[in-house]
Amino acid sequence: MTQVKKAIIPAAGLGTRFLPATKALPKEMLPIVDKPTIQYIVEEAIESGIEDIIIVTGKGKRAIEDHFDQSLELEETLEKKEKYDLLEKVKESSNVDIHYIRQKEPNGLGHAVWCARKFIGDDPFAVLLGDDIVRAETPGLKQLINQYEATGKSVIGVQTVPYGETNRYGIIDPTDQDGRLYKVNQFVEKPVLGEEPSNLAIMGRYILNPEIMDYLDDQEIGAGNEIQLTDAIQRLNENQSVFAYDFEGRRYDVGEIKGYLKTMIEMSLEREDIRDDLLKFMERVVE
Ligand code: G1P
Protein backbone atom coordinates (compact mmCIF):
# COMPACT_ATOMS: atom_id res chain seq x y z
CA MET A 1 0.00 0.00 0.00
CA THR A 2 1.27 3.51 -0.79
CA GLN A 3 2.25 5.32 2.38
CA VAL A 4 0.78 8.69 3.27
CA LYS A 5 3.60 11.17 2.69
CA LYS A 6 1.78 14.19 1.25
CA ALA A 7 -0.39 16.71 3.04
CA ILE A 8 -2.57 19.64 2.03
CA ILE A 9 -3.02 22.56 4.41
CA PRO A 10 -5.78 24.87 3.15
CA ALA A 11 -4.97 28.44 4.18
CA ALA A 12 -6.88 30.60 1.72
CA GLY A 13 -9.74 31.63 4.04
CA LEU A 14 -10.41 35.31 4.59
CA GLY A 15 -10.26 35.14 8.38
CA THR A 16 -13.31 37.38 8.78
CA ARG A 17 -13.82 36.31 12.41
CA PHE A 18 -10.59 38.07 13.34
CA LEU A 19 -11.06 41.34 11.47
CA PRO A 20 -9.51 43.91 11.60
CA ALA A 21 -6.43 41.90 12.75
CA THR A 22 -6.58 39.83 9.58
CA LYS A 23 -6.97 42.69 7.12
CA ALA A 24 -3.27 42.53 6.21
CA LEU A 25 -2.14 39.53 8.32
CA PRO A 26 -3.13 35.97 7.38
CA LYS A 27 -5.12 34.40 10.23
CA GLU A 28 -2.78 31.40 10.03
CA MET A 29 0.02 33.72 11.23
CA LEU A 30 -1.78 34.74 14.43
CA PRO A 31 0.46 33.45 17.20
CA ILE A 32 -0.34 31.12 20.07
CA VAL A 33 2.18 32.41 22.64
CA ASP A 34 5.12 32.93 20.25
CA LYS A 35 4.45 30.51 17.39
CA PRO A 36 2.06 31.10 14.47
CA THR A 37 -0.91 28.71 14.48
CA ILE A 38 0.08 27.26 11.11
CA GLN A 39 3.43 26.15 12.51
CA TYR A 40 1.66 23.90 15.04
CA ILE A 41 -0.15 22.30 12.10
CA VAL A 42 3.03 21.86 10.04
CA GLU A 43 4.78 20.30 13.06
CA GLU A 44 1.94 17.81 13.58
CA ALA A 45 2.22 16.80 9.92
CA ILE A 46 5.98 16.29 10.16
CA GLU A 47 5.71 14.35 13.43
CA SER A 48 3.19 12.11 11.66
CA GLY A 49 5.69 11.22 8.92
CA ILE A 50 4.53 13.64 6.21
CA GLU A 51 7.39 14.61 3.88
CA ASP A 52 5.79 17.02 1.42
CA ILE A 53 3.34 19.72 2.36
CA ILE A 54 1.35 21.93 0.02
CA ILE A 55 -0.25 25.02 1.48
CA VAL A 56 -3.20 26.37 -0.50
CA THR A 57 -2.99 30.14 -0.13
CA GLY A 58 -4.84 33.12 -1.49
CA LYS A 59 -4.50 36.88 -1.69
CA GLY A 60 -2.57 38.52 1.13
CA LYS A 61 -0.95 35.32 2.38
CA ARG A 62 2.65 36.10 1.48
CA ALA A 63 3.65 36.18 5.19
CA ILE A 64 3.11 32.40 5.38
CA GLU A 65 5.69 31.81 2.63
CA ASP A 66 8.11 34.20 4.30
CA HIS A 67 7.66 32.44 7.63
CA PHE A 68 8.69 29.04 6.29
CA ASP A 69 11.47 30.52 4.18
CA GLN A 70 15.01 30.89 5.39
CA SER A 71 15.68 34.33 6.80
CA LEU A 72 19.43 34.80 6.42
CA GLU A 73 19.39 38.36 7.74
CA LEU A 74 17.55 37.40 10.90
CA GLU A 75 19.75 34.33 11.42
CA GLU A 76 22.91 36.42 11.10
CA THR A 77 21.67 39.03 13.56
CA LEU A 78 20.76 36.40 16.12
CA GLU A 79 24.11 34.67 15.66
CA LYS A 80 26.01 37.95 16.17
CA LYS A 81 24.00 38.63 19.31
CA GLU A 82 24.71 35.03 20.46
CA LYS A 83 20.98 34.39 20.84
CA TYR A 84 21.33 30.71 20.02
CA ASP A 85 17.97 29.59 21.49
CA LEU A 86 16.12 32.01 19.26
CA LEU A 87 18.29 31.07 16.30
CA GLU A 88 17.25 27.41 16.67
CA LYS A 89 13.58 28.43 16.80
CA VAL A 90 13.87 30.53 13.67
CA LYS A 91 15.67 27.75 11.79
CA GLU A 92 13.05 25.15 12.80
CA SER A 93 10.39 26.89 10.72
CA SER A 94 12.46 26.68 7.53
CA ASN A 95 13.49 23.01 7.76
CA VAL A 96 10.63 21.45 5.79
CA ASP A 97 9.78 21.08 2.14
CA ILE A 98 6.71 23.21 1.63
CA HIS A 99 5.02 23.94 -1.68
CA TYR A 100 2.43 26.60 -2.38
CA ILE A 101 -0.50 26.97 -4.70
CA ARG A 102 -3.06 29.72 -4.91
CA GLN A 103 -6.80 29.26 -4.72
CA LYS A 104 -7.90 31.98 -7.09
CA GLU A 105 -11.48 32.29 -5.89
CA PRO A 106 -12.77 31.64 -2.35
CA ASN A 107 -15.04 28.73 -3.34
CA GLY A 108 -14.84 26.68 -0.18
CA LEU A 109 -12.79 23.91 1.40
CA GLY A 110 -13.62 21.32 -1.26
CA HIS A 111 -12.36 23.66 -3.96
CA ALA A 112 -9.18 24.48 -1.97
CA VAL A 113 -8.31 20.78 -1.72
CA TRP A 114 -9.08 20.28 -5.43
CA CYS A 115 -6.60 23.08 -6.27
CA ALA A 116 -3.80 20.75 -5.07
CA ARG A 117 -4.84 17.80 -7.29
CA LYS A 118 -1.76 17.90 -9.54
CA PHE A 119 0.53 17.76 -6.51
CA ILE A 120 -1.40 14.76 -5.15
CA GLY A 121 -1.49 12.71 -8.38
CA ASP A 122 -2.33 9.08 -7.55
CA ASP A 123 -1.21 9.09 -3.92
CA PRO A 124 -3.27 8.99 -0.75
CA PHE A 125 -2.89 12.21 1.20
CA ALA A 126 -3.65 14.04 4.41
CA VAL A 127 -5.59 17.27 4.92
CA LEU A 128 -5.04 19.35 8.04
CA LEU A 129 -7.19 22.37 8.80
CA GLY A 130 -5.56 25.29 10.58
CA ASP A 131 -8.53 26.13 12.82
CA ASP A 132 -7.97 22.98 14.85
CA ILE A 133 -4.79 22.47 16.84
CA VAL A 134 -4.55 18.92 18.17
CA ARG A 135 -2.31 17.86 21.02
CA ALA A 136 -2.01 14.16 21.76
CA GLU A 137 0.57 11.60 22.81
CA THR A 138 0.46 10.10 19.31
CA PRO A 139 -0.14 13.06 16.93
CA GLY A 140 -3.77 13.22 15.79
CA LEU A 141 -2.84 12.82 12.13
CA LYS A 142 -0.55 9.86 12.89
CA GLN A 143 -3.47 8.07 14.58
CA LEU A 144 -5.46 8.41 11.35
CA ILE A 145 -2.52 7.27 9.22
CA ASN A 146 -2.27 4.12 11.40
CA GLN A 147 -5.95 3.38 10.66
CA TYR A 148 -5.44 4.05 6.96
CA GLU A 149 -2.54 1.60 6.91
CA ALA A 150 -4.69 -1.03 8.62
CA THR A 151 -7.76 -0.61 6.38
CA GLY A 152 -6.61 0.99 3.09
CA LYS A 153 -9.72 3.18 3.30
CA SER A 154 -10.00 6.94 3.68
CA VAL A 155 -10.26 7.89 7.36
CA ILE A 156 -11.75 11.11 8.77
CA GLY A 157 -10.88 12.34 12.26
CA VAL A 158 -13.89 12.98 14.50
CA GLN A 159 -14.57 13.90 18.12
CA THR A 160 -17.69 14.35 20.20
CA VAL A 161 -19.10 17.90 20.48
CA PRO A 162 -22.03 19.21 22.57
CA TYR A 163 -25.38 18.75 20.80
CA GLY A 164 -26.01 22.51 20.65
CA GLU A 165 -22.88 22.97 18.48
CA THR A 166 -23.35 20.30 15.82
CA ASN A 167 -24.45 22.89 13.22
CA ARG A 168 -20.89 24.29 13.12
CA TYR A 169 -19.34 21.07 11.84
CA GLY A 170 -19.43 18.20 9.40
CA ILE A 171 -21.29 15.45 11.31
CA ILE A 172 -21.26 11.70 10.74
CA ASP A 173 -24.09 9.20 10.87
CA PRO A 174 -22.19 6.21 12.26
CA THR A 175 -23.24 2.60 11.74
CA ASP A 176 -20.87 -0.14 12.99
CA GLN A 177 -18.29 0.68 15.64
CA ASP A 178 -15.06 -1.20 16.34
CA GLY A 179 -13.34 0.53 19.26
CA ARG A 180 -12.72 4.09 18.07
CA LEU A 181 -13.28 3.27 14.39
CA TYR A 182 -16.70 3.82 12.79
CA LYS A 183 -18.29 2.77 9.55
CA VAL A 184 -20.30 5.69 8.31
CA ASN A 185 -23.71 5.76 6.72
CA GLN A 186 -23.51 9.46 5.89
CA PHE A 187 -21.34 12.54 6.22
CA VAL A 188 -23.42 15.72 6.51
CA GLU A 189 -21.99 19.25 6.41
CA LYS A 190 -23.42 21.62 9.02
CA PRO A 191 -26.80 19.94 9.68
CA VAL A 192 -29.64 22.05 11.05
CA LEU A 193 -29.82 21.80 14.87
CA GLY A 194 -32.14 18.99 15.91
CA GLU A 195 -31.60 17.16 12.60
CA GLU A 196 -28.01 16.04 13.28
CA PRO A 197 -27.50 12.28 12.90
CA SER A 198 -25.07 12.21 15.89
CA ASN A 199 -22.73 14.52 17.79
CA LEU A 200 -19.56 13.08 16.25
CA ALA A 201 -17.99 16.01 14.42
CA ILE A 202 -15.28 16.20 11.75
CA MET A 203 -12.24 17.79 13.38
CA GLY A 204 -10.03 19.04 10.59
CA ARG A 205 -7.89 15.93 10.07
CA TYR A 206 -8.43 13.70 7.02
CA ILE A 207 -6.66 10.86 5.20
CA LEU A 208 -8.11 10.59 1.71
CA ASN A 209 -7.64 8.26 -1.21
CA PRO A 210 -6.81 10.17 -4.41
CA GLU A 211 -10.20 9.25 -5.99
CA ILE A 212 -11.71 12.05 -3.88
CA MET A 213 -10.37 14.43 -6.55
CA ASP A 214 -12.68 12.83 -9.15
CA TYR A 215 -15.65 13.76 -6.97
CA LEU A 216 -14.32 17.25 -6.30
CA ASP A 217 -13.99 17.74 -10.09
CA ASP A 218 -17.75 18.13 -10.41
CA GLN A 219 -18.85 18.69 -6.82
CA GLU A 220 -21.91 20.92 -6.62
CA ILE A 221 -22.17 23.88 -4.28
CA GLY A 222 -23.35 22.89 -0.79
CA ALA A 223 -23.81 24.41 2.69
CA GLY A 224 -22.93 28.12 2.94
CA ASN A 225 -22.90 28.35 -0.88
CA GLU A 226 -19.46 26.72 -0.99
CA ILE A 227 -17.99 23.57 -2.51
CA GLN A 228 -17.81 21.34 0.57
CA LEU A 229 -15.19 18.64 1.09
CA THR A 230 -17.70 16.78 3.28
CA ASP A 231 -20.13 16.42 0.34
CA ALA A 232 -17.41 14.90 -1.88
CA ILE A 233 -16.42 12.56 0.99
CA GLN A 234 -20.02 11.35 1.20
CA ARG A 235 -20.01 10.56 -2.55
CA LEU A 236 -16.71 8.71 -2.16
CA ASN A 237 -18.23 6.83 0.78
CA GLU A 238 -21.03 5.59 -1.47
CA ASN A 239 -18.43 4.02 -3.77
CA GLN A 240 -15.60 2.92 -1.46
CA SER A 241 -16.22 3.07 2.29
CA VAL A 242 -14.79 5.99 4.19
CA PHE A 243 -14.21 5.42 7.92
CA ALA A 244 -14.34 7.87 10.79
CA TYR A 245 -11.91 7.60 13.69
CA ASP A 246 -12.56 9.16 17.10
CA PHE A 247 -8.96 10.19 17.70
CA GLU A 248 -7.41 10.64 21.14
CA GLY A 249 -6.15 14.00 22.34
CA ARG A 250 -7.22 17.56 22.99
CA ARG A 251 -8.45 19.70 20.15
CA TYR A 252 -8.18 23.46 20.47
CA ASP A 253 -10.54 25.54 18.39
CA VAL A 254 -8.40 28.50 17.36
CA GLY A 255 -10.72 29.47 14.49
CA GLU A 256 -12.83 31.80 16.62
CA ILE A 257 -11.83 34.50 19.08
CA LYS A 258 -12.83 32.92 22.41
CA GLY A 259 -11.28 29.56 21.53
CA TYR A 260 -8.15 31.33 20.33
CA LEU A 261 -7.80 33.33 23.55
CA LYS A 262 -8.45 30.29 25.76
CA THR A 263 -5.78 28.35 23.88
CA MET A 264 -3.38 31.27 24.22
CA ILE A 265 -3.94 31.45 27.99
CA GLU A 266 -3.69 27.69 28.53
CA MET A 267 -0.51 27.33 26.51
CA SER A 268 1.03 30.42 28.12
CA LEU A 269 0.37 28.93 31.56
CA GLU A 270 2.28 25.82 30.52
CA ARG A 271 5.41 27.90 29.96
CA GLU A 272 7.67 28.07 33.00
CA ASP A 273 9.09 31.42 31.91
CA ILE A 274 5.59 32.95 31.74
CA ARG A 275 3.35 31.08 34.18
CA ASP A 276 3.99 32.78 37.53
CA ASP A 277 3.91 36.32 36.20
CA LEU A 278 0.78 35.66 34.18
CA LEU A 279 -1.06 34.05 37.12
CA LYS A 280 -0.24 37.01 39.37
CA PHE A 281 -1.34 39.40 36.65
CA MET A 282 -4.63 37.56 36.14
CA GLU A 283 -5.40 37.56 39.87
CA ARG A 284 -4.88 41.30 39.85
CA VAL A 285 -7.06 42.04 36.82
CA VAL A 286 -10.03 39.97 37.98
CA GLU A 287 -10.06 41.47 41.51
C1 G1P B 1 -14.72 22.82 8.20
C2 G1P B 1 -15.35 21.57 7.61
C3 G1P B 1 -16.23 20.89 8.66
C4 G1P B 1 -15.40 20.60 9.90
C5 G1P B 1 -14.74 21.88 10.43
C6 G1P B 1 -13.78 21.56 11.57
O7 G1P B 1 -15.71 23.78 8.44
O8 G1P B 1 -16.12 21.92 6.47
O9 G1P B 1 -16.76 19.69 8.14
O10 G1P B 1 -16.22 20.02 10.89
O11 G1P B 1 -14.00 22.54 9.39
O12 G1P B 1 -13.19 22.70 12.10
P13 G1P B 1 -15.40 25.36 8.66
O14 G1P B 1 -14.99 25.49 10.11
O15 G1P B 1 -14.30 25.71 7.72
O16 G1P B 1 -16.67 26.06 8.37
**What is the position in ligand 1's atom list of the atom closest to the CA of 109?**
8
Cβ 37 vs Cβ 83: under 8 Å = no
Distance CA 260, CA 29 (A): 12
**What is the position in ligand 1's atom list of the atom closest to the CA of 228?**
8
Distance CA 144, CA 142 (A): 5
- Report helix, strand or coil for 241: coil
Look at the chain and count its residues.
287
> Could you read off the pLDDT of 255-268 as tens digits, one per residue?
999 999 999 999 99
186: confidence class by pLDDT, cuts 50, 70, 90: very high
**What is the position in ligand 1's atom list of the atom closest to the CA of 204?**
6
For the residues 18-39, what does the mean pLDDT come to?
Answer: 94
For the residues 196-200, what does the mean pLDDT come to?
Answer: 97
**Rg for the chain (alpha carbons), in Å?**
19
Q: Report the pLDDT value the prediction gives residue 7, as an integer from 0 to 100.
A: 96
pLDDT of 97 > 90? The answer is: no
Percent of the chain past pLDDT 70, that is, above it, reads 99
Gap from CA of 262 to ligand 1 centroid (Å): 19
- Domain locations in the chain as residue ranges: 6-255
Tell me what the pLDDT averaged over the chain comes to: 93
pLDDT of 94 > 70? The answer is: no
Gap from CA of 89 to ligand 1 centroid (Å): 30
Gap from CA of 273 to ligand 1 centroid (Å): 34
Q: Report the pLDDT value the prediction gives residue 2, as an integer from 0 to 100.
A: 85
Handedness of CA 80, 83, 88, 93 (dihedral sign): negative
CATH T-level assignment (fold) for domain 6-255: Spore Coat Polysaccharide Biosynthesis Protein SpsA; Chain A (3.90.550)
Gap from CA of 189 to ligand 1 centroid (Å): 8
83: confidence class by pLDDT, cuts 50, 70, 90: confident
Give the residue whose CA is nearest to atom 9 of ligand 1.
Answer: 170
Gap from CA of 72 to ligand 1 centroid (Å): 37
Q: Report the pLDDT value the prediction gives residue 93, as an integer from 0 to 100.
A: 65
Any residues with Cβ below 6 Å from ligand 1, and which? 109, 129, 131-132, 169-170, 189, 201-204, 228-230, 255
Gap from CA of 241 to ligand 1 centroid (Å): 21
> Could you read off the pLDDT of 112-159 as tens digits, one per residue?
999 999 999 999 999 999 999 999 999 999 999 999 999 999 999 999
Q: Report the pLDDT value the prediction gives residue 262, as an integer from 0 to 100.
A: 96
Q: Report the pLDDT value the prediction gives residue 287, as an integer from 0 to 100.
A: 80
Q: For residue 172, what are the β-bridge partners?
A: 187
**What is the position in ligand 1's atom list of the atom closest to the CA of 132?**
12
129, 158, 166, 189, best to mutate for ligand 1 pocket (most atoms within 8 Å of CB): 129
What does the CA dihedral 15, 54, 106, 117 come to, rounded to 10 degrees? Answer: -160
169, 187, 246, 256, best to mutate for ligand 1 pocket (most atoms within 8 Å of CB): 169
pTM of the model: 0.93
Q: Report the pLDDT value the prediction gives residue 14, as an integer from 0 to 100.
A: 85
